[in-house]
Structure 1
Amino acid sequence: MNKLPLHVRLSYGIGQLSDGIKQSAFTTFLFFYYNQVLGLPGSLAGLAALLALMVDAVTDPMVGQISDRFHSRWGRRHPFMLAGAIPFGVAMVMLFSPPDALGEMGLFCWMLGGAIAVRLMLTLFFVPHLSLGAELAKDYHGRTSLIGYRVFFTYAGILVTSVIGFAVFFPPTAEYSNGMLNRASYPAFGLFCGVLGTLAMLLSVFGTRKSIPYLSKPVNAKSTRTPLLALLDVFITLKQHSFRIMFYSVLIFSTLAGVTQTLLVYVATYVFEFQPEHLAGLASSILVGIVFASWVAQSLSRRFDKKKALAICVIVGGVFAFSPQILYFGGLLPLMDTTTKFLLIFTVNGISQVFFIAYIILLDSMLSDSIDEHELETGKREEGLFFAARSFATKASYGLGSFFAGIGLDVIQFPRSATPETVSQEAVLSLAIFSGPVMLVLFAATVMISNRYPMTAQRHREIIAGIASAKAD
């Protein structure tokens, strides 16, 4: 296929709405629900997230390898995408509906089991869907454009889930001035997330179905390697220098982003002293990123090439993202009235989202370029395997991120079921330090790693020419 029709690009992109829904539900709401509302210690909630991530470490490469080699009249990606859709919705509903009588360990097990189920069903869709994008678009810059659709819908899912969650499901009531502490609201929220995520998956499957005849064919169909051994294949992908650099970059970036996102409600509630209605408005700042990120990514990559563009996105995004905490330490933020404070944080968040979303677009485009290099070197087209590794690194944003956030909350002895009035100033200050300057320094470390990425536009043109020549022979 040459230029993809608009409806195919939209259908492909909308599938990632489900991942955005999961990201927002897990990092913004789930941890707070089990920790602050149900009373599960932060370290146990973080441990549940980490153990669920370890399951992903096995299932992601398994699904990637199986889909790379799968034969069916629906191709090698679509059957798995379809299989994960409805169970994803069911698992999401169950995760946010634990029985009332569960004790501490019961809550831990329910959170762990539910998180594993949601992750597993999303893996069935997510890994083949990522691979599908690399098959649909082959051009160096056209690939960045298609990935822009996918990232757009990912963040649209985050936006919809966050805004509707705060505004519709968690409004203040006579009993709960902070609606986030109302336990009765969470099952309906889980149902909303499950239904919307399932619909997005199904629309993507059936909307891209006519592209199946034009996609790459299964590789190494007679391989005797078992799916479990595919876990070892992930380490084989890390032998490729360009992919290894990107893998470690996204692993660190996603983990730090996960810590930040997990602490979002805590920081907004206890440091900025916002109510849920303010959080809904604050979440909508992501619209700025959704609108401008794809243009920023393409403009920067054409002017500076992708590696330099990536560094610019991390640095600029990080400075804006953590500037409110820096103003807090300087004593300026507490002096502002609520409206001024909200407008300031909304603005800097919107700008930071532009560059962070552009970062994801560029990174996925660079990963796809690395897959082309792998095909030239080995003769195998194994998007599933490479994007399984990428999927695992991205999902670390919840697993490792929530784990470290949970430990951090316990270390600073942050109280559970707390209102802003009952939290000590020392605890609020510790939370601001952990979520601000510490994270900014660690974000900058990703720049040092990604600067070692060797691929250029010229090198990619040579790779594509080499692949075409090999196929002609």
Structure 2
Amino acid sequence: MPASTSATGSSRLSTSVVARYAIGSLGTGGFATLPGLVLVFYMTDTLGVAAWAAGLVVTVAKIWDVLIDPLIGGLSDRSLLHSGSRRRLMIVGGIALPIFFLLTFAVPAGVAPAAAGAWVVIAFILASTSFSLFQVPYIALPAELSDHYDQRTRLLTTRVAVLSGAILLFGAGGPILRKIGDPYTGYLVMALVAGLVIGAGMLIASTVAPKGMPYPDAHGIPFSEGYREGIAALRRSAPFRALLGTFLLQALATGLMLAAANYVAVWVMHSDDALTFLFVALIGPAILFSPVWNAISRRIGKERAYVWATVIFTIAAATLTIAIWAPGAWMYASVAAAGAAYAGMQALPMAMLPDVISHDARLHGEARAGVFGGVWTAGETTGMALGAAALAAVLSITGYVQTVAGHVVVQPGSAVVGIAVGFSVVPAALAALSLLTLSRYRLRREDIDGPGIPQEALA
């Protein structure tokens, strides 16, 4: 495979390419948001599944993701070699995901909790597999769309602006849709509408995948060797290890907050409507600050801007600890500050990943964007899955009482405190820890746009 498959070189990306690529975040944002927000709650408060079992269901599905993502990365690189594009996998994922997403929330009323849990885990595994078929090549595309440091930032900050809008759309709209009819009907309607929007976003984004010349004589990466290639990428690229470790910790922090938001609204703030307001407070600033982080990164570099975003998020999450003793509307201000920082924590590392990929290609003579994308997606999935699992563990330890639709329960004080801690203290600590791994990232603008690669970048 050639060392670079960039479709546009150093030239400015067209508005059409940037827009179509960003629309893919309707799919990625929707699938990341709704299951993380409502799946555990759906199982514990509608299907009657115990909190520990609900957490296990999500964890099993995400472990499956982690296992297949590196394999799909290798498959994506093979597709590029033999067809000249990564588009085929993206289209398959965009068509299949809405079907399995609908099935995830289609458990009929009256099904026993154990059977309901089995239903959800099978359907969600199939939905997650479909998502990976799209997500892995989607993550690989920026390295091939441009080899310019700032153009990649422009591409990814635009994507995160759409991602933030998608999170607001699904995070606020999903809970509204699930109020239609009884809880079982509501979740089904929510899944149908959301699945169609997710699939449409994915299919539109697939049109941006560059079409190049196939290499029918090239062998590429055997499907079974995706793990070996992924491990090799981690071993040889210190910047990749640092960036992935940072993003994994932050995915764990944000995944935990996302999973806890529904519980915070109901049991800490005592308002079902508070969930919508929390999302507006989080995502409104995220949309506004996406171009701000682009401007900041142009001035001081992506790496320093990423540090500032992480510090702001850490402080904002830490202030939410006060909710243990005094919950109230003031929490929206802290969430808004976290939202402004969240935009940078999403856009900047994703804009840095293509730099890592091209850096590796310059050193080793082969572009393995699919492999890097597969490992990256596996790491992100691990963080988000562990976030939901960590919340489920906290709920179980603190005595959270599950129920089925139509039954009213009173939660013990210990469970309410556990929810508040899971929304504040733990995410803040994880974000602070991620600053240590980020400090080991050495690539800078001159290493990407400049003529040479300094030795310290390889350490």
SS at match of 1:30: helix
Q: CA, structure 1 residues 72+378, in 2 after alignment: closer, same or farther (shift >3 Å)?
A: closer
* Aligned equivalents of 2:164, 2:261: Cα separation in 1: 16
- Aligned counterparts of 2:53 and 2:366: Cα–Cα separation in 1: 42
* Structure 2 residue identity aligned to 1:432: A
Letter paired with 1:64:
G
Q: Indicate if the aligned counterparts of 2:252 and 2:430 stay in contact, CA closer than 8 A.
A: no
Aligned to 1:386: 372
Distance verdict in 2 for CA 1:84–1:271, change over 3 Å: same
Map of 1:139 onto structure 2:
148
Secondary structure, in 3 states, of the residue corresponding to 1:371?
helix
Is 1:428 aligned to 2:416, yes or no? yes
Partner residue in 2 for 1:314: 310
Residue 80 of structure 1 is matched in structure 2 by 89
The answer to whether the 8 A contact 2:33-2:170 is kept is yes
Paired residue for 1:253?
A: 250
**TM-superposition CA deviations, 1:41-86 (whole Å, max 9, x none):** 1211111212112221222111211221225896321111111111
Contact 1:415 / 1:423 at 8 angstroms: preserved in 2? yes
- Supply the distance in 1 between the matched residues of 2:216 and 2:451 (Cα, whole angstroms): 19
The range that moved more, 316-325 or 6-15, is: 316-325
Match of 2:3 in 1: none
Q: What is the correspondence of 1:281-320 to structure 2 with a 5 Å cutoff?
A: 281-320=277-316
In structure 2, the partner of 1:179 is none
User: 2:52·2:393 contact (CA, 8 Å) conserved in 1?
Assistant: yes
Deviation at 1:385, TM superposition (A): 0.7
- Match of 2:4? none
Match of 1:6 among 2, 15, 18: 15
| Residue range with higher mean Cα deviation, 144-153 or 160-169 | 160-169
Q: Which residue in the other structure is 2:353 paired with?
A: 367
2:149, 2:355 within 8 Å by CA — same for their partners in 1?
A: yes
Task: Give the stretch that moved more between structures: 428-437 or 21-30.
Answer: 428-437
Aligned 8 A contact 2:51 2:400 in 1: no
Residue 309 of structure 1: how far off its partner (Å)? 1.7
Residue 204 of structure 1 aligns with an amino acid whose one-letter code is A
Equivalent position amino acid for 2:240 in 1: F
The one-letter code sitting in structure 2 at the alignment partner of 1:103 is A
1:197-216 aligned at under 5 Å gives the runs: 197-206=198-207, 208=208, 211-213=210-212
Q: CA deviation at 1:460?
A: 2.2
Give, in whole Å, the separation in 1 of the partners of 2:340 and 2:65: 29
Give the equivalent residue in structure 1 for 2:68.
Answer: 59
The residue aligned with 2:457 is: none
Structure 2 residue 245 is the aligned partner of structure 1 residue 236: no
After superposition, the C-alpha distances for 1:412-432 in whole angstroms (9 at most, x for unaligned) are 111113999712223212322
Q: Which amino acid aligns with 1:412?
A: T
Do the aligned partners of 2:107 and 2:184 also contact (CA within 8 Å) in 1?
no
Tell whether the 8 Å contact from 1:372 to 1:464 is kept in structure 2 after alignment: no
Distance in 1, Cα, partners of 2:217 & 2:139: 20
Q: Say if 2:167 and 2:283, in contact at 8 Å, map to a contact too.
A: no
CA distance in 2, matches of 1:134, 1:430: 42
Partners of 2:156 and 2:346 lie apart in 1 by 9
Amino acid in structure 1 at the alignment position of 2:20 = S
Cα gap change, 1:377/1:413 in structure 2, threshold over 3 Å: closer, same or farther? same
Contact 2:106–2:184 (8 Å) recurs in 1: no
Deviation at 1:164, TM superposition (A): 1.2
- Corresponding residue for 2:5? none
Within 5 A, what are the aligned runs for 1:328-343?
Answer: 328-329=323-324, 331-333=325-327, 341-342=328-329
Count of residues paired in the alignment: 442
Change (3 A) 1:72 1:431: closer
The 8 Å contact of residues 66 and 382 in structure 2, kept in 1 or not, is answered as no
1:220 deviates by 8.7
Structure 1 unaligned regions, length at least 5:
177-181, 334-340, 467-473
1:377-456 counterparts in 2 under 5 A?
Answer: 377-417=363-403, 422-456=410-444
1:221 aligned residue = 218
- Per-residue deviation at 1:296? 2.9
Cα deviation 1:168-226 (Å, max 9, x = unaligned): 4327x8xx8xxxxx3331111110111111111122223x26x424xx97699324x53
Q: Deviations over 1:381-427 (max 9, x none)?
A: 11111011111111124322111211111011111139997122232
Q: Is 1:42 the equivalent of 2:38? A: no
Deviation at 1:447, TM superposition (A): 0.5
Alpha-carbon distance change, 167 to 313 in structure 1, aligned in 2, over 3 angstroms: same
Equivalent in the alignment of 1:188: 189
Answering whether residue 277 of structure 2 is matched by residue 274 of structure 1, we say no
Matches within 5 A, 1:168-179: 168-170=177-179
Partner AA of 1:41 in structure 2: A
Q: 1:255 to 1:220 in 2, by over 3 A?
A: farther
Task: Provide TM-score, normalisation by structure 2.
Answer: 0.90
Preserved contact between residue 149 and residue 445 of structure 2 (Cα < 8 Å): yes
Q: 1:322: Cα distance to partner? A: 4.1
* 1:105 aligned residue: 114
Residue identity opposite 2:410 in structure 1 = T
> Contact (CA 8 Å) 2:97, 2:195: kept in 1 or not?
yes
State which drifts further: 71-80 or 97-106. Answer: 71-80
Q: State the 1:244 CA deviation.
A: 0.6
Instruction: Give 1:345's match in structure 2, choosing from 317, 331, 336.
Output: 331
What is the TM-score normalised by the length of structure 1?
Answer: 0.87
| Identity between Structure 1 and Structure 2 (%) | 21
1:24 aligns with 2:24: no
Gap change, CA 1:249 and 1:140, over 3 Å in 2: same
Question: C-alpha displacement at 1:292, in angstroms?
Answer: 2.7
Q: Distance in 2 between matches of 1:400 and 1:150?
A: 25
